[in-house]
Structure 1
């Protein structure tokens, strides 16, 4: 076929056999295309290839290198090379050095922009339960030889476009190339209001949806000083506007920060044939069209998801023959033409009704007058006191933590609150301000209608959750924690009970850093029941040593809570037994709803040595990759 770049008959070694024998080595017909390397049965008598035996997507390849010959290898297995991907090394034996060099050169050229390229590799093969080069007995053990820096230095986000493969989202398909990143905002730029905003302080400026504004100052990342078309100046929430030149965010069909499950729920609720929206893909920088159709014979209709791909010329497409310079042009075309999809895009379905949270209730507002708070109902009792749902100025939903006296180092927290208010992320519960002029003091935060994640897991899921739903919850948490990590913030008490769920099902992390201000000594020592023993790693249990890596351990336990739908970790052990047994190597079992790949993420968080655990940025990428596979 014209799409084939290289073809060759190689000997392939079986990957799955525990013991290596001559039966593990078989001739296969290998074919390299722009998307993958595939291998087929081979009929030597007729010189023809037969059925497909397996394949590896190029974008999953982490390393392509030579392999030193096995001990006493026959002549036909001298010129070995390896292709390393998620499932391990694929060992291939060429007939000559020239053929091996040709394939390695071409493969390295095609995968050089892959994410997660390895820095170290094993120069010898894995055989009979051991690496022949370094004698390590764990197949996933890191390589023992450093790769040439040219091969290992390319990172995520720099991948060059490959020829397109427009398709509905399916497991195992290669990702579309990275769309061009929007330009960074700057003073003097023109922005368009995505949402209306009513001024909360005399310094604020009113925003009217779809009107243009000029940015005058950006010293505060959350509140920009701007001027409207009538000459009025003031501060606006930066997450309420989008640069006028940046195409898709101003359109109602674009639903930023919406995941697959939320899109399907919204489309099915609207129940319109041809209802659609555009959302961020589970891969950063990618976009997906989600479309609801009542055709196809499925009762109640079904949702389809199509990746927006990019051609080598930088044009966007859903159907390969219909390319457009911008995504809005693409959407406009498919609003009139199905062009290979299950339906044309007939009705815009949007989640634009609720604006995002602002960092504070107005520019410079961190001290809130309690006279403007209305208490409506009690939500529960936390470690600091009662939490109530209420309104600010009679119209803004808020949650109010009423801090019982003697439970918190108040003055230290009040100083910290000024900094914490500037933290803003869609997966963090926004701190709006504090009331400190009376006792008890109040902490005023964003209100999330679905409440605590732990209760949501146990009671709020109306039907059996899908694998995608569970992993999306974990993705929300790791993205919020990756942001905290980037700001050098340690949570210290990450658990399902300290996450909340909004009306759309988005999970947000709350109470980050608050445990530092608890005055109860029991909470910060392994002797007392209030210490989060079940979420703590050995270095915290034994030495009270908190770090971002202890948050990683707690995240693994939170994942376990998600996949057990809210069970208590180590439910049969008391705290003293947990401290003893976890320090000796005990780990939580694999939940029934978690497959091996999910459980591997959990166990990577529970490594004994803190510096060997991944960071949240890496965890986020791992969860995103797995979520893409599930979809």
Structure 2
């Protein structure tokens, strides 16, 4: 019998080799030898292994990598890793990060010379017939994330990845899946925000009250019942599954990044002000952001403390005072600094800021113009004047008044019904249209900090940090990855077509609108209005649009962000840009971008479209870089 290299009790997830197989989790004793990874039943009381339950031939292993934990995973399932072999993924859950890393390191060392090692893998779980990271529905589908550092001497084949199709997809192939697949009909949810019904079909939500899901007919609106028996439609991004304990605490700010936390805390300017937020870099983990004024300083500063977990599943912060739950940990540190720069004195919250709904009520896309109040002009765009206003006197909206003759209106009106279903925290939400009069109106979410380009030039209150700039890039990449996953092209991605919310979140706007421009100057690459400076060679020369042309434009947008709004190719005219870019000329590295940041930009600019990454890969690469900066 081969000698054992490592042994450890892990939780193993069932492999669901058949569609009807149940999903379960069982504790097994894993034994690693030079040739095999085996797992056994284990008698905890007697401390000995029992019958063999499965074996993996290590010569057949194609990949060993971490997996992002499930959303709100229990403590015993926060450190998963995967072993990919012929039968598919074997998911194993370690007790802590140290054990997880040690087993991954050892397994990789053993299999590094295997044939057919994967160049791409899936960083999230296969659940209910779908990869959670990229929504592909084939279990054998190629991974969506490129393995870092794979090279021939580590066992890679050295073969290039197969080209990605670059044909423009039909809009009708949108696959708008509900954003919370873990919820189902019959489950109980809790309202995270107040919701006043916007149409007769809607149901009022009261914060912290429970509701039962009755039907899920739409990607963004669900039919529900309240405790009094009343039924109606609710926006599903206003509720969370009952049992998600942290959602009930005012100090928990789920969708908040580091820069947003710092801005919020500095605005409050209170010593000991704090928030608890999801770690955007480590799924399933949490960070405490704390503002303090040491020795009477007036400006103050922010510190960020990761909530750590012991091998027994207990939580602790800077000093190792252990707690069974995060609320218990927070309560303790509200009275004791215990290793931090200050105790947690004042709860700071952004809960008043509710997310945008997909439309102004379930099934509403045609808006009565009489319900709109125009307050002030925001600017003049490609299609006409844009104004800030109110819907029904209370909801902030932006209203695009479409100049007659500037847009193919009938085609757009049909498209608007589909565009309204696109709902993501990094996309400007389309609320509806007014089409019964001329000019027609496009009514969207209003973002108070305005255009990203202007914000970069004038709106930043202080010199931005590398983290702040990268978080802007990450916001755009995640919004575009959502469009990409729904096979939707932007065609005019640039800083001028992104907006900035009150808390600094960047959202992409005007996606797909360039398809309806009737201006011949705009639609010709020789005209001054065509976005030549953001276009790749295949668009400049052949008018060939694809998701890969959006990738090129994203690289230019990253450059805009890291130059604080400079004009790309500022010394060249349009014709010179077409000539030079076609010959291989590329933008220089901005002073605020280090080589790693610049390498991500350059990865968007290969001449061959199929050599460019996907937005999913770009979002991961920017996230990894953020992790290094922090």
TM-score relative to the length of structure 1: 0.72
| 1:42-441 matched pairs, under 5 angstroms | 107-109=105-107, 119=118, 143-144=151-152, 147=155, 184-285=182-283, 286-295=285-294, 298-319=297-318, 321-441=320-440
Distance 2:452 2:415 in 1: 26
Partner SS for 2:414: helix
Query: For residues 305 and 109 of structure 2, what CA distance do their matches in structure 1 show?
Result: 24
Q: How does 1:387-536 map to 2 (within 5 A)?
A: 387-536=386-535
Question: Residues 610, 390 of structure 1: CA spacing in aligned structure 2 closer, same or farther, 3 A cutoff?
Answer: same
Flag structure 2 segments of 5+ consecutive residues without an equivalent: 7-61, 65-101, 121-147, 158-179
Counterpart-to-counterpart distance in 1, 2:474 and 2:572 = 29
> Contact 1:120/1:147 (CA < 8 Å) preserved in 2?
no
1:556·1:602 contact (CA, 8 Å) conserved in 2?
yes
Distance, in Å, in 2 between the alignment partners of 1:186 and 1:324 is: 32
**C-alpha RMSD of the superposition:** 2.8
> What 5-or-longer segments of structure 1 have no aligned partner?
7-61, 65-103, 122-139, 150-181
Once the two structures are TM-superposed, the CA of residue 188 in structure 1 deviates from its matched residue by 1.3
Distance 2:103 2:240 in 1: 44
Q: What is the CA–CA distance in structure 1 between the aligned matches of 2:406 and 2:400, rounded to whole Å?
A: 12
Q: Distance in 1 between matches of 2:564 and 2:464?
A: 9
Counterparts of 1:334 and 1:420, CA distance in 2:
46
Q: Distance in 1 between matches of 2:611 and 2:152?
A: 16
For 1:292 and 1:247, the matched residues in 2 are separated by 25
Contact 1:120 1:146 in 2 (8 A): no
The Cα shift of 1:267 comes to: 1.1
Pairwise CA distance, 1:405:
1.0
Larger Rg: 1
Give a deviation string over 1:255-279, Cα, whole Å, max 9, x none.
Answer: 1221212211211222222211011
**Residue of structure 2 equivalent to 1:75:** none
Whole-angstrom distance in 1 between the partners of 2:411 and 2:331: 54
Give the 3-state SS of the residue equivalent to 1:427 in structure 2: coil
Residues 120 and 232 of structure 1, relative CA distance in 2, 3 Å threshold: closer
Match of 2:571 in 1: 572
**C-alpha contact 1:254 1:350 (8 A) present in aligned 2:** yes
- Counterparts of 1:410 and 1:514 in 2: how far apart (Å)? 11
Distance 1:219 1:627, change over 3 A: same
Counterpart for residue 49 of structure 1 = none
- Alpha-carbon separation, structure 2, partners of 1:105 and 1:400: 56
Cα distance in 1 between the residues matched to 2:257 and 2:579:
40
Which stretch has the larger CA shift, 346-355 or 487-496?
346-355
Aligned-partner SS, 1:589: coil
Distance 2:614 2:154 in 1: 22
- Alpha-carbon deviation of 1:481? 0.6
Partner of 2:596: 597
- Whole-angstrom CA distance in 2 between matches of 1:345 and 1:113: 47
1:551-581 Cα offsets, whole Å, 9 max, x none, are 1100000011111111111111111111111
